Amino acid sequence: MKEMKLFLGPQHPGMHGNASVHIYVDGDIIKKSFLLPGMLHRGFEKGMERHSWVNNISLIPRVCVVEPDTNEMAFAMAVEMLAKLEVPERAHWIRMIILELARLSIHLMAYGGLGSPTGLYTMMYHAHTDRNTILNIFEKITGHRVYHQYIVPGGVRKDLPVGIEKDIHSFLDDLESRYEEYRDLGINNPTIQARINDTIPLPAEVVWELGVTGIGMRSAVNKPYDLRKVKPYARYDQVEFDVPVAPYSDAYARVDCKLQEVVQSIGIIRQCLAKMPEGDVRVPISRGQAMRWTVPKGHVYACVESSRGEFGYFMVSDGGTNPYRVGVRGASYPQGLLGIEKYLPGTRLDDAALWVDTMGVCSPEIDR
Amino acid sequence: MLSTKFSPMSKEEVDRKWWEIGDFFRRNSLWMLMYCTGCCAIELPPAMTSAYDMERLGMGPMATPRQADVLLVTGYLSLKTLRRLIYTYEQMSEPKYIVGFGSCTINGGIYHDSHAVINQLNKYIPVDVFVAGCMPNTEAVMNGFVDLMDLIKNKKANGWKDYHERYEWYLANQKAALGEVRVHDEFHE
Amino acid sequence: MTNSMSNTEFVTNLVESKFKVLSTEVLDKYQVSFEVKKEDVHSLLSLLKTSGWIQLSYLSAVDWPNDNEFELVYIVFNWDKAVHIQIRCRLDRETASMNSILPIFPGCKYYEREAHEFFGIKFPGNPDHEKQLILEEWDDIPPLRKDFDPRAYSDRKFSKMEYKNDFVNKNGEVSKQDARTKRYDDIDKLRTGGKK
């Protein structure tokens, strides 16, 4: 049979974000596949060199659209490592609340996004409505729905508003009470199970070859390799949580791990709200002269665990008012580019969208 | 008392009447193309699902450009996307409307000095409604759609006619920024 | 897990005993950075890979036009020892070329391709590294080099929004436009370190 070239995306309902997968098919079976990145390239790494350290705060959340808070956290950690800033104790706990709320929101979005390749749209409506509640909570805390610019070098921008604990608790209780319903809707549903069981497996041997991190890796190697456990940042060493793992990474296992992480995140937020001390939330950096603030020389790499894996900022300072070089290690870089090239061939055409969804390929952070 | 005497209408008048009738149905059932060109698309899922429920305006997502009425340009446009956007826009059947989201489509926004992002969208394709903000929140997005419907009602959403009339001007702008407008896909091969 | 302070010491001993390291820096208990010669990078990476640093986290370059050099950065990670290792080496800027580490870390394929695209460093051994990845029909010098000015490129290629004054200045008042210009000048002065 003759090979045929197809484009999955950029304009395709099953594609998440503005990227394109070029697929050569023989009948239904993928023979060759490539990701075509770069449609969201904005020249971030160059742009950051051209702004001062403080101006960059407004630029960095835009690197990854769906998950701006991990960007802010990684950037803030890198600058704090360079400038040797001590973050106040309360700020650590507020950061963890924000990060875990963001993780909840993106897991819900990914779980809802599973609706489009599998054709089950009910789940999407439930998940996006809950995500909208999280965005409303973010709006109360930070003033913005999506790009918060809340985690800044030296702490967080402002203290939590009075009474926000009640909102967060009521949302978490609500989500927890409907957790089983979520599972029944999605991955306990026999139709969905037949669709995603044993689909696009990722063998444990090839994980290291690709460099995949996050849920894709943990569900393959069956070990709790989570940066929050392995090299704890903020105060993740003082809260109790489990890292869900699985022995065999197929689409089902990855979605299952995601849903289990939702439970763990709910637990972490509750512990944070209970353990959070009073006090300052921000170290003032060179008060009144933020534009002139300089950071000592150095090369650092700071990384956090995003919902898709290790998200890192490599940062070089030459002692000036601007960063000398900022490199972004997008968490979905390996599974997006090399993963699609190497491990999609051999699967069926309709599974390509499932790979993009369950491995979490976020095109803005690949392109930058 | 109204006269019941039949007076024949000229052809232009008949056409106008039919367009008015067509516009009535068009503005109450707008199909928007599912193409997320940039980051403002992240506010579309809340607008589409139960929280804001776009369907009460008669809007729904459409998978293919040939059956869609509205093209949402959600945010910044890199050159690579602009090529594909022009391609998509020219595939859509007329009448077609464009809604530009965010400050990036108006004047470049936060990426005004970037080497990869164009600054002003309506130099390249005609835009009917701009929704300002970085990013515009969901209420603003919904408001933008209502504005588009009003424009269609008042016969002011004429971007697609403008694209016909001043095609040379648009093409010259596209060529100045893109070099070659056609998409080359010899990427990995 | 063992005490992680000993992990950084373990790494430092491991590397310094076998290679000539130009500079070592222990950034915190989870990160060590080495600067080595260009020739040592491959053997050092192989050694680290056999010692458990099996994940290539990041690969990129930094441009130092004053030294006429590029700096290549490799970051590898060991999940059991929880130590990130930065390995940096300097290349000549005019004839920037570095053998690919594709046989050691296959994950470097696209990182190297991107480094070639944004800096113009050649990676012999990586078959695809000269193809364009992110940019399309690029017609200037690689954009992340320090001597590339994105604003000039943007001004040249993309037309800007034209603003016109639609207000009238009353006599004796500082116009808003002038005030804004002055404020931007002040900000520029502050940036470059001058007094207000």
Is the predicted pLDDT of residue B84 greater than 80, yes or no?
A: yes
Q: Could you tell me the two tokens for C172?
A: 């004796």
Pick from A34, A112, A128: which is nearest to B188 by CB? A34
Is the predicted pLDDT of residue B160 greater than 80, yes or no?
A: yes
Do the beta carbons of residue C89 and residue C35 sit within 8 Å?
A: yes
Burial of A139 (0-12, 13-18, 19+ CB in 10 A): middle
Q: Give me the amino acid identity at B29.
A: S
**Bridge partners, A303 (sequence order):** A312
Is the predicted pLDDT of residue A215 greater than 50, yes or no?
A: yes
B108 touches chain C (CB under 8 A): yes
Q: B119-158 burial by CB neighbour count: b if 16+ within 10 A, else e?
A: bbbbbbbbbbbbbebbbbbbebbbebbebbbebbeeeebb
Cβ separation C79–A329 shorter than 8 A:
no
B182 touches chain C (CB under 8 A): no
For A218-241, what is each residue's pLDDT tens digit?
Answer: 888 888 888 888 888 888 888 888
Pick from C137, C140, C150: which is nearest to B180 by CB? C137
Of A240, A313, A11, C14, nearest to B35 by C-alpha is: A11
- Closest CA of chain C from A164, distance in Å: 35
Q: Could you tell me the two tokens for A30?
A: 């993928």
Q: What percent of chain A has pLDDT over 70?
A: 98
DSSP, res B95: S
Fold of B28-178: Rossmann fold (3.40.50)
Distance CA A18, CA A37 (A): 8
Pick from C128, C143, C160: which is nearest to B115 by CB? C143
Q: What angle do CA B48, B73, B129 make, to 5 degrees?
A: 90
User: Chain B window 21-40: which residues touch A at a Cβ cutoff of 8 Å?
Assistant: 33-39
Q: Examine residue B8 and say whether the peptide bond preceding it is cis (omega within 30 degrees of 0).
A: no
Give the pLDDT score at C194.
Answer: 58
Domain tally for chain C? 1
Cβ separation B35–A10 shorter than 8 A:
yes
The H or E element containing residue B159 is helix B159-165
Single pTM value for the model:
0.87
Q: C72-88 burial by CB neighbour count: b if 16+ within 10 A, else e?
A: bbbbbbbbebbbbbbbb
Cβ separation C136–A38 shorter than 8 A:
yes
Q: What is the mean pLDDT of chain A?
A: 85
Torsion sign over Cα B118, B120, B122, B127: positive
The residue assigned the tokens 């000048």 is: C185
For C42-90, what is each residue's pLDDT tens digit?
Answer: 888 888 888 888 888 888 888 888 888 888 899 988 888 888 888 888 8
Three-class SS of residue A20? Answer: strand
| DSSP-assigned states of every residue in A157-224 | SSPPPTTHHHHHHHHHHHHHHTHHHHHHHTTTSHHHHHHHTT-S-B-HHHHHHHT--THHHHHHH-S-
Distance CA B75, CA A135 (A): 20
Q: Could you tell me which chain A residue has the CA closest to the CA of C193?
A: A292
Lowest-confidence pick of A172-176, A201-205, B26-30, C108-112: A201-205
Is the predicted pLDDT of residue A122 greater than 70, yes or no?
A: yes
Do the beta carbons of residue C163 and residue B106 sit within 8 Å?
A: no
Q: Could you tell me which chain B residue has the CA closest to the CA of C157?
A: B177
Of A314, A271, A324, nearest to A294 by C-alpha is: A324
Cβ separation C160–B120 shorter than 8 A:
yes
Pairing label, strands C21-28, C31-36 = antiparallel
Q: Could you tell me which chain B residue has the CA closest to the CA of C127?
A: B188
Average pLDDT over residues A150-169: 87
Distance CA B132, CA B102 (A): 5
In B, which residues are within 8 Å of A17 by CB distance? 36, 41
Pick from B37, B111, B188: which is nearest to A42 by CB? B111
Domain ranges of chain B: 28-178
Partners of chain A (3+ Cβ pairs below 8 A): B, C
Is the predicted pLDDT of residue B152 greater than 70, yes or no?
A: yes
Pick from C55, C58, C75: which is nearest to A208 by CB? C55
Do the beta carbons of residue A11 and residue B89 sit within 8 Å?
A: no
Torsion sign over Cα A296, A301, A303, A308: positive
Three-class SS of residue A240? Answer: coil
Q: Name the residue with higher pLDDT: C63 or A292.
A: C63
C-beta pairs of C127-136 under 8 Å, 24+ apart in sequence: C128/B188, C129/C100, C131/B187, C131/B188, C132/B187, C133/A37, C133/A38, C134/A37, C134/A38, C134/A41, C134/A367, C135/A38, C135/A41, C135/B80, C135/B116, C136/A38, C136/B79, C136/B80, C136/B83, C136/B184
- Closest CA of chain A from B154, distance in Å: 31
In C, which residues are within 8 Å of A310 by CB distance? 57, 77
Is the predicted pLDDT of residue A13 greater than 60, yes or no?
A: yes
Do the beta carbons of residue C13 and residue C59 sit within 8 Å?
A: no
- Closest CA of chain A from C61, distance in Å: 9
B187 touches chain A (CB under 8 A): yes
First to last CA, chain A: 39
In C, which residues are within 8 Å of A326 by CB distance? none
For B105-147, what is each residue's pLDDT tens digit?
Answer: 888 888 888 888 888 888 888 888 888 888 888 888 888 889 8
Three-class SS of residue A336? Answer: helix
Is the predicted pLDDT of residue A29 greater than 80, yes or no?
A: yes
Lowest-confidence pick of A283-292, A359-368, B42-51, C21-30: A283-292
Cβ separation C150–B113 shorter than 8 A:
yes
Give the pLDDT score at B189.
Answer: 47
B177 touches chain C (CB under 8 A): yes
In C, which residues are within 8 Å of A45 by CB distance? 118, 144
Cβ separation C191–A81 shorter than 8 A:
no
B186 touches chain A (CB under 8 A): no
Average pLDDT over residues A97-122: 85
In B, which residues are within 8 Å of A58 by CB distance? 110
In A, which residues are within 8 Å of B110 by CB distance? 58-59, 62
Partners of chain C (3+ Cβ pairs below 8 A): A, B
Quote the strand ranges of chain C, DSSP E.
Answer: 21-28, 31-36, 55-64, 69-78, 83-92
Q: Could you tell me the two tokens for C93?
A: 């800027």
Lowest-confidence pick of A184-193, A267-276, C19-28: C19-28
Pick from B106, B116, B120: which is nearest to C159 by CB? B120
Do the beta carbons of residue A72 and residue A157 sit within 8 Å?
A: no
CA distances from B143 to A256, B29, B48, B95, B140 (A): 38, 16, 14, 21, 5
CA distances from A89 to A93, A95, B10 (A): 7, 10, 79
B178 touches chain A (CB under 8 A): no
Which candidate in B84, B85, B115 is best for mutational testing of the C interface (most C CBs within 10 A)?
Answer: B115
> Do the interacting molecules here have an ipTM over 0.90?
no
DSSP, res A276: P
Cβ separation A314–C75 shorter than 8 A:
yes
Angle between helices A68-83 and A89-113 (to 10 degrees): 150
Partners of chain B (3+ Cβ pairs below 8 A): A, C
Distance CA A257, CA A250 (A): 11
User: Chain B window 111-130: which residues touch A at a Cβ cutoff of 8 Å?
Assistant: 111, 113-117
Which candidate in B40, B49, B85, B139 is best for mutational testing of the A interface (most A CBs within 10 A)?
Answer: B49
B105 touches chain A (CB under 8 A): no
Do the beta carbons of residue C82 and residue A305 sit within 8 Å?
A: no
Confidence of residue B188 (pLDDT cuts 50, 70, 90): very low
In C, which residues are within 8 Å of B80 by CB distance? 135-136
Distance CA A325, CA B38 (A): 25
- Closest CA of chain C from B186, distance in Å: 10
- Closest CA of chain B from A120, distance in Å: 14
Distance CA A316, CA A70 (A): 19
Give the pLDDT score at C1.
Answer: 46
Pick from C128, C154, C161: which is nearest to B114 by CB? C154
CB-defined contacts A:B, below 8 A: 100
| Structural domains for chain A | 4-359 (1.10.645.10)
- Closest CA of chain C from A354, distance in Å: 22
Domain that holds residue C80: 4-192
B62 touches chain A (CB under 8 A): no
Rama region for C172: left / alpha / beta (φ>0; ψ in -120 to 50; rest): left
Q: Could you tell me the two tokens for A219?
A: 């569900």
Is the predicted pLDDT of residue B104 greater than 60, yes or no?
A: yes
- Closest CA of chain C from B24, distance in Å: 34
CATH code for the domain in which residue C95 is found: 3.30.460.80
Cβ separation A43–B185 shorter than 8 A:
no
CA distances from A366 to A43, A44, A64, A361, C42 (A): 12, 11, 9, 8, 26
Cβ separation B84–A11 shorter than 8 A:
yes
Average pLDDT over residues B29-40: 82
Distance CA A31, CA A345 (A): 5
Q: What is the mean pLDDT of chain B?
A: 84
Q: C28-57 burial by CB neighbour count: b if 16+ within 10 A, else e?
A: eebbbbbbbeeebbeebbeebbeeebbbbb
- Closest CA of chain B from A190, distance in Å: 25
B183 touches chain A (CB under 8 A): no
Angle between helices A164-177 and A121-142 (to 10 degrees): 170
